[in-house]
Amino acid sequence: QYLALNSKDEPFIETLVKYGSKFQNDSLSQGMSLFGGNESIKPVPPEIPVTPEVDQLELLKREKELVGMFLSAHPLDQFKFEVKNFTNHTLAQASDLLTASSSDSTLQGKELILAGIVTTAKTSMSKNGRPFVNFTVEDFNGSLQFTLFGKDYENFMKYTQPNLPLLLKVSISPKYNFYGGRNEQNNNKPADCELKIRSIRLLANTKEDFIKSITLNIPVLQLDKHFRKDLLKVFKENEGTTRVIVKAIEYENHLAVEFFSTKFMISLNEGLFNYFDSLGLEYSFTPTLSF
Residue 183: per-residue pLDDT: 43
Of 204, 232, 266, at which residue does a domain stop? 204
Contact 64, 70 (CB under 8 A): yes
Say which range, 66-70, 185-189, 196-200, has the weakest mean pLDDT: 185-189
Residue 194: per-residue pLDDT: 94
Q: What is the mean pLDDT of residues 262-269?
A: 88
pLDDT band at 34 (very low <50, low <70, confident <90, very high): very low
Contact 167, 211 (CB under 8 A): no
At residue 37, does pLDDT exceed 80? no
Asked if residue 184 and residue 110 are part of one domain, the reply reads yes
Of 162, 179, 204, at which residue does a domain stop? 204
Tell me which amino acid residue 185 is.
Answer: Q
Q: With CA atoms as reference, report the closest residue to 117 among 157, 79, 172.
A: 79
Say which range, 9-13, 58-62, 115-119, 171-175, has the weakest mean pLDDT: 9-13
Residue 283 to residues 205, 271, 273, 290: CA-CA distances in angstroms?
20, 14, 9, 22
Task: State the Cα–Cα distance between residues 60 and 55, nearest whole angstrom.
Answer: 9
Say which range, 37-41, 54-58, 264-268, has the weakest mean pLDDT: 37-41
Percent of the chain, pLDDT > 70? 76
Q: Is residue 273 part of a domain?
A: yes
Q: With CA atoms as reference, report the closest residue to 178 among 189, 192, 196, 194.
A: 192
Asked if residue 145 and residue 46 are part of one domain, the reply reads no
Task: State the Cα–Cα distance between residues 167 and 259, nearest whole angstrom.
Answer: 33
Residue 239: per-residue pLDDT: 93
- Domain at 169, CATH number: 2.40.50.140
Q: Which domain holds residue 187?
A: 79-204
Residue 26: per-residue pLDDT: 66
**What are the E-state strand segments in 251-290?**
255-266, 282-284
pLDDT band at 1 (very low <50, low <70, confident <90, very high): low
At residue 162, does pLDDT exceed 50? yes
User: What is the DSSP code (8-state) at residue 77?
Assistant: G
Number of H helices, E strands in the chain: 8, 9
At residue 181, does pLDDT exceed 50? no
Q: Is residue 66 part of a domain?
A: no
| CA-derived radius of gyration, the chain | 28
Contact 207, 81 (CB under 8 A): yes
At residue 66, does pLDDT exceed 90? no
Q: Is residue 72 part of a domain?
A: no
CA 176 to chain centre: 30
Number of domains in the chain: 3
At residue 29, does pLDDT exceed 80? no
Asked if residue 181 and residue 227 are part of one domain, the reply reads no
Question: Does residue 115 or residue 187 have the better pLDDT?
Answer: 115
Residue 215: per-residue pLDDT: 94
Asked if residue 275 and residue 188 are part of one domain, the reply reads no
Asked if residue 46 and residue 88 are part of one domain, the reply reads no
Q: What is the mean pLDDT of the chain?
A: 83
Task: State the Cα–Cα distance between residues 254 and 216, nearest whole angstrom.
Answer: 16
Task: State the Cα–Cα distance between residues 51 and 54, nearest whole angstrom.
Answer: 8
Asked if residue 137 and residue 42 are part of one domain, the reply reads no
Tell me if residue 39 falls in helix, strand or coil.
Answer: coil
Task: State the Cα–Cα distance between residues 82 and 88, nearest whole angstrom.
Answer: 11
Residue 33, burial from CB neighbour count under 10 angstroms (0-12, 13-18, 19+): exposed
Q: What is the mean pLDDT of residues 141-164?
A: 95
Residue 182: per-residue pLDDT: 44
Contact 112, 126 (CB under 8 A): no
Strand order in the sheet with 213-219: 255-266, 239-250, 213-219, 282-284
